[in-house]
Amino acid sequence: MHIRRPSPPRPRPRPHGARTAGVVLALAALVATACTSGGSTSSASPAAAALAALPQSTPDALAPYYGQKLRWRSCGVPGFECATLKAPLDYAAPDRGDVRLAVSRKKATGPGSRLGSLLVNPGGPGGSAVGYLQAYAGIGYPAGVRARYDMVAVDPRGVARSEPVECLDGPDMDTYTQTDITPDEASETTALVEAYKKFAEGCGEDSPKLLRHVSTVEAARDMDILRAVLGDERLNYVGASYGTFLGATYAGLFPKRVGRLVLDGAMDPSLSARRLNLDQTAGFETAFRAFARDCVQQQDCPLGSKADKIGPNLKAFFDRLDRRPIPTGGVDGRRLGESLATIGVIAAMYDEGAWAQLREALTSAMEDSDGAGLLVLADSYYERDADGRYSNLMFANAAVNCLDLPAAFTGPDQVEDALSAFEKASPVFGEGLAWASLNCAYWPVAATGEPHRIEAKGAAPIVVVGTTRDPATPYRWARSLAAQLSSARLLTYEGDGHTAYGRGSACIDRTINTYLLNGTPPPDKKRCS
């Protein structure tokens, strides 16, 4: 579920939205962010175990990793350095090989005394933290923060520059993303299942060993090695979307090593996969209704003039595309069907600044049978370039999600039984999001995690940020995570879009900057607009 991507209007890449409840096949991988536990639609039992902290002392077998020296070199990006961090492939057997992780930093610029390193992660799972640092955080974070922190990022194992998981080539991914995710008959259900199986088999063939060791717990342990190698006693961190799950996991494992942690667009680790996907489905519906209310006030709204008709009109359009896809004008001959159109709309829900772009794209598609605009949004979400190459975002997303928690559904029959609940949560997106939650059922590696609470007893104050109309990480998740973490301070942004820091709220930015620079957390339950 975690993360995003239609060319946002702001000069920064958005955090990878909790690509949990994705909507299309590959999005199904996204949906995996919430690929938490299978079975019931209820949350984990209140008696579910909390994530246990690791011993304070470093095991002898890990000493070489904690004692390594990074060899910094030029990245080719002005002002940034890069290095390679080694971590054990398997923490249970550190002598069985390493995984090499890409690290980048931009040193504190001054003035003011250096506060240490500030690690950033944009979410996903599968988003490149190094790319995010070099494209935005290292140059776009507030000058005061960049002046006093070394800005640092590490691509988690299996992601981007850190031994990336690969599954399908470009043409096969094109086929995958166009597979019908609202099957109307048995043959279409079979085709969908076969698409999930081919995707999973591709991942298993390419990375058989790594695929067993890309969990969030392992990535959090990697961050502790990086903290030590950088010379920091405590970890200072800003994580967005899935990055909040990663940061909270670190806090649970190493509560005494928590410095200043900001968890923006929070996930709830205590929920089952099905519950997470159902919640996210409702979150997209909430965001879409906000879009609908805005759309009817614009002169170029192609979906009608009454807010309560916007959803049915869009669903009817999706149904037409399901029967007859429309051209996109591209040299690759791809046509816009329901799956890609749905992703295009979903992508625009991450940022209200993209709503005008969505209206224009829908107008072209609905009035002129030109699907190019919606395809641009979908390709941006999938990180597909003009040459038909995909980043490894979707592959890493599924790999992490399907390992972290058991599948939401084990087969088509379970999806069909849950359809009414998903369609109730979102009449527009529910059916597609339910079927997108099936992808982990065919994963070649068994899940190693379960839903759990994270308490991080003894940790320094942690700021948990929630946006009231966040489509990808519903606000209730922020409230739940804040209630679990023993030292959390809940900071609420009353607004639209995915995540809050750096999105235009002076109140949010001032509050977080004060915490990062002075160590002063906000009062619990502070609200901003």
Averaged pLDDT, groups of 10, the chain, 529 residues long = 31 43 33 33 56 95 98 96 98 96 97 97 96 96 98 98 96 97 97 97 89 97 98 98 98 98 97 93 96 97 96 97 96 94 97 96 98 97 96 96 95 98 97 96 96 97 97 96 98 96 96 98 97
Tell me if 466 sits within 8 A of 477, measured CB to CB. Answer: yes
Compute the 3-state secondary structure of the chain and give helix, strand, coil in percent, each to the nearest 5. Answer: 45, 15, 40
Tell me if 511 sits within 8 A of 529, measured CB to CB. Answer: no
The pLDDT value recorded for residue 208 is 86
Helices assigned H by DSSP within 331-392: 338-349, 355-368, 372-382
Active site residue 413: no
Among the listed residues 232, 480, 498, 505, the single catalytic one is 498
Tell me if 433 sits within 8 A of 426, measured CB to CB. Answer: yes
Question: Which residues are CB-neighbours of 205 under 8 A, at least 6 positions away?
Answer: none
Tell me if 472 sits within 8 A of 281, measured CB to CB. Answer: no
Tell me if 111 sits within 8 A of 1, measured CB to CB. Answer: no
CA-atom Rg of the chain in angstroms: 22
Q: What's the one-letter identity of residue 306? A: K
d(CA 205, CA 9): 39
Say how many C-beta atoms besides its own lie within 10 A of residue 169's C-beta.
Answer: 12
Tell me if 1 sits within 8 A of 17, measured CB to CB. Answer: yes
Question: How far are the Cα atoms of 1, 13, 38, 377 from residue 8, in angstroms, in the given order?
Answer: 19, 7, 34, 10
The pLDDT value recorded for residue 107 is 97
Residue with tokens 């000493």: 63
Among the listed residues 117, 241, 380, 487, the single catalytic one is 241
Tell me if 73 sits within 8 A of 86, measured CB to CB. Answer: no
Among 23, 42, 29, residue whose Cα is nearest residue 392: 29
Which residue segments constitute the domains of the chain, with CATH numbers given? 1-59+105-529 (3.40.50.1820)
d(CA 420, CA 416): 8
The pLDDT value recorded for residue 207 is 79
Sign of the torsion formed by the C-alpha atoms of 131, 133, 139 and 141: positive
Among the listed residues 174, 322, 470, 496, the single catalytic one is 470
Q: What's the one-letter identity of residue 92? A: A
The pLDDT value recorded for residue 331 is 78
The pLDDT value recorded for residue 44 is 45
Active site residue 498: yes
Tokens found for residue 12? 């920064």
3-state secondary structure of 167: coil
Q: How many CA atoms lie within 13 A of 443 on its CB side?
A: 32
Tell me if 85 sits within 8 A of 70, measured CB to CB. Answer: yes
DSSP category for residue 136: I
d(CA 130, CA 348): 24
Tell me if 228 sits within 8 A of 4, measured CB to CB. Answer: no
Tell me if 422 sits within 8 A of 281, measured CB to CB. Answer: yes
3-state secondary structure of 474: coil
Can you state the angle between helices 355-368 and 372-382, rounded to 10 degrees?
130
The rounded Cα 416 to chain-centroid distance in angstroms is 26
Strands 98-106 and 462-469: unpaired
The pLDDT value recorded for residue 3 is 33
3-state secondary structure of 155: coil
Tokens found for residue 151? 């800005």
The pLDDT value recorded for residue 206 is 77
